[in-house]
Amino acid sequence: MAHKKWIIADADKEKASELSEKFNIDPFIAFLLVSRGVDNELAVSDFISSSCEFSDPFNFVDMDKAVARIENAIDYGEKITIYGDYDCDGVTSTALLLSFLKSMGADVDYYIPSRETEGYGMNVNAIDKICESGTKLIITVDNGIASVNEADYLYSLGMELVVTDHHQIPDKLPKAEAIINPHRKENHMKFRDFCGVGVAFKLVCAIYGDTEDMLFQYADLVAIGTIADVMPLMNENRGLVKKGLELINSNSRLGIEELKKVATDSERILTSTDVAFMICPRINAAGRIDHASKAVELLVSEDYKDASLKAEQLNINNVHRQEIETEIFENIKEQVEKNPSLVQDRVVVIAGKNYHHGVVGIVASRVLEEYGKPVIIIGIDEDDNARGSARSVEGFNIFEAISYCSDLLLQYGGHPRAAGMGLLPENIDAFRAKINEYALKYHPVMPMETFNIDCKLSPFYLDLNLVDSLKILEPYGESNPQAIFALVGLTLLSVTPMGEGKHIRLECEKKGKKLRIVKFKTTAEDFPYKVGDKIDVAVKISKNLFKEKYYLSIQAVDIRRNGIDDKYFSEKSIYELFNLGKNNDVSVFANRDICSIVYKTLKSNGGWNYSIDDLYFSLKGVTYGQLQCALKAFEESGLISLENNKIKVLDVKSKVDLMNTPSMKSLKGRLNIG
């Protein structure tokens, strides 16, 4: 597992103290608010308020035109087709607008393209089908802003278009009766970070003429789409999600109630985190594994048996998605074992036959977590179509990197941290080489993956009272994540497998205070620390109800050996630049004493079954470059074998002169070491 650089937040303590007194909130919570930028009286008042002031939907430019055209279609009985998208935001947008227009008496249906065969956005074949059904007006949700050619085509067929979308504005807008998009410069609005379902909600509020009534009808759908699309939960989004969670937990629509039953205990009060991990993936699974229309039909269902059946089907799809994800991830691990160079590149590019296109993005995120560098996973289907999904670390713009390779691609698009592309299978090797050329050219030192921590905390402060105090920060989401605390210098007392060996429970201690900490998706065999080690643990806290009593639950989200500081990251950068010929730093040279330290550690541990970085942290007085230098010499002399970061100590009878290995002689010559 890649080691991340912990970034511990700071805040103006005096300002936090003032806000604590002004609003009668816990000083510690005030500190957290200030550290997150909620640092003045108005911002705090808005943040902690149970109500929210929602902006006028007519602050969107073209909203009056959209309302007039849609009302005209309803009045004259023109058929309307909603053109949606297959992700959770697109599904909830489609369900919301479909339900509303039906309640207004409209002749309306919807169309969502297949992720597998059509891809994102409008396409000519779909437009032909919609036209043949007698549609006069198409309304897009969560797409359409870039559909310039498709818009011209549908107008040539005698149809008209209203676009509602939240993606970035292109240089040329499509022909339409109205274009509703929060990022249009002409809008008269302060807050613009709505997702697709947020924009659709603003449209129905404008048509209906009242926001409160629409919140009671549709806030649950808006909350789910907003959480799923990882929109910042600040300002109006925070208010929408708050209202939506109230509805989900008290009076939600039938489809969501049935989805809750298959996802968790139906009596459980869901938080935004629960929605993100239990509800959103099941809705998304329909578009990934089957067809997103199955999720739309669930969300608009008014029949108990029908909704129950459809919820169960989405649950089955989600289980199947997880199985496919695991299969692809295991296949990637097998590829890496056979060819470790795949993950030694600055940008990891791995391709495989029949990797499901709906799942490769999730797998790319897992591979990034494993290796801490930008990742592109490409699936090649039976028709020899290659499509990839990319995920990146902060500071490495993967969209710009992919754009650099545009001559090798059939299509591409995306954002700084996530992107997608299509290409010919025969161009994959050239694409891998060129994107790594870009990385080498523009990032001599690759950005390291970072991990944001709210503050260091003594284990003695972890209790149920703190959990209750933190509730004021909810709902959690983008720009307002669940609080993460660093517990520094814990002594590891025991490691216990749990969940059929898939997870572990750690017992730790500091100054007499013992803690039980759960680490999910880590086996005891893969855990690199042993009893007695000093570790730092980044944790989230919550409370669990068991036999009518609440217990503190502590979950580890990152673990590292105690004492990691900027020295590690600095030494990695020095070594990286040295390999590129950018410096001649002597700190990368391992003399006999250093080699002896490294070799004795390997011998005493019977080799090494964890990452090279974990080996570095187990050593004292050895730089990162020296470790790499020593391992190279050991391998050349036959002392060890190194495969996929696993080190095996070999039985060597004769004496070995490490200083005469090819790498050592080359290094001494380069550094003028006698």
**Amino acid identity at 654:** S
Beta-sheet pairing, 107-111 with 549-561 = unpaired
Q: What is the DSSP letter of 480?
A: B
Q: What percent of the chain has pLDDT over 90?
A: 76
Comparing C-alpha atoms, which of 641, 671, 638 is closest to residue 657?
638
pLDDT of residue 15: 94
Residue 24, burial from CB neighbour count under 10 angstroms (0-12, 13-18, 19+): exposed
Q: Is the pLDDT of residue 267 over 80?
A: no
pLDDT of residue 444: 84
pTM: 0.85
What is the pLDDT confidence band of residue 68, given thresholds at 50, 70 and 90? very high
Coil, strand or helix at 395: coil
pLDDT tens per residue across span 162-173? 999 998 888 899
CA distance 113 to 95: 15
The torsion angle over the Cα atoms of residues 26, 30, 35 and 38, rounded to 10 degrees, is: 140
Q: Residues near 643 by Cβ (< 8 Å), separated by ≥ 6?
A: 337, 340
Q: Is the pLDDT of residue 122 over 80?
A: yes
Comparing C-alpha atoms, which of 342, 412, 234 is closest to residue 644?
342
Sign of torsion over alpha carbons 418, 285, 290, 353: positive
Query: How far apart, in Å, are the Cα atoms of 344 and each of 58, 397, 505?
Result: 52, 19, 32
DSSP symbols for 138-162:
EEEES--TT-HHHHHHHHHTT-EEE
Q: In what order do the strands lie in the sheet containing 135-141?
A: 107-111, 79-83, 135-141, 160-164, 178-180
What is the pLDDT confidence band of residue 1, given thresholds at 50, 70 and 90? low
Question: Would you say 625 and 571 are in contact if contact means Cβ atoms under 8 Å apart?
Answer: yes
pLDDT tens per residue across span 366-419? 999 888 899 999 999 888 889 999 999 989 999 999 999 999 999 887 788 888
- What is the chain's mean pLDDT, rounded? 92
pLDDT tens per residue across span 496-545? 999 999 999 999 999 999 999 999 989 999 899 999 999 999 999 998 87
Q: Is the pLDDT of residue 644 over 70?
A: no
pLDDT of residue 264: 85
What is the pLDDT confidence band of residue 266, given thresholds at 50, 70 and 90? low
What is the pLDDT confidence band of residue 645, given thresholds at 50, 70 and 90? low
Task: Count other C-beta atoms under 10 Å from residue 550's C-beta.
Answer: 13
What mean pLDDT do residues 261-269 have? 82
Take residue 167 and report the two structure tokens written for it: 């993606």
pLDDT of residue 271: 93
pLDDT of residue 613: 87
Question: Would you say 296 and 95 are in contact if contact means Cβ atoms under 8 Å apart?
Answer: yes
Sign of torsion over alpha carbons 185, 188, 193, 199: negative
What mean pLDDT do residues 463-474 have? 92
Q: Is the pLDDT of residue 298 over 90?
A: yes
Q: Is the pLDDT of residue 585 over 70?
A: yes
Query: How far apart, in Å, are the Cα atoms of 250 and each of 256, 258, 269?
Result: 11, 13, 9
What is the pLDDT confidence band of residue 50, given thresholds at 50, 70 and 90? confident
Coil, strand or helix at 539: strand
As beta bridge partners, residue 375 has: 348, 391
Q: What percent of the chain has pLDDT over 70?
A: 99
Sign of torsion over alpha carbons 55, 56, 62, 68: positive
Coil, strand or helix at 528: coil
Q: Residues near 307 by Cβ (< 8 Å), separated by ≥ 6?
A: 254, 255, 257, 258, 298, 301
pLDDT of residue 493: 97
What is the pLDDT confidence band of residue 79, given thresholds at 50, 70 and 90? very high
pLDDT tens per residue across span 191-210? 999 999 999 999 999 999 99
Tokens 């990891």 correspond to 348
pLDDT of residue 326: 92
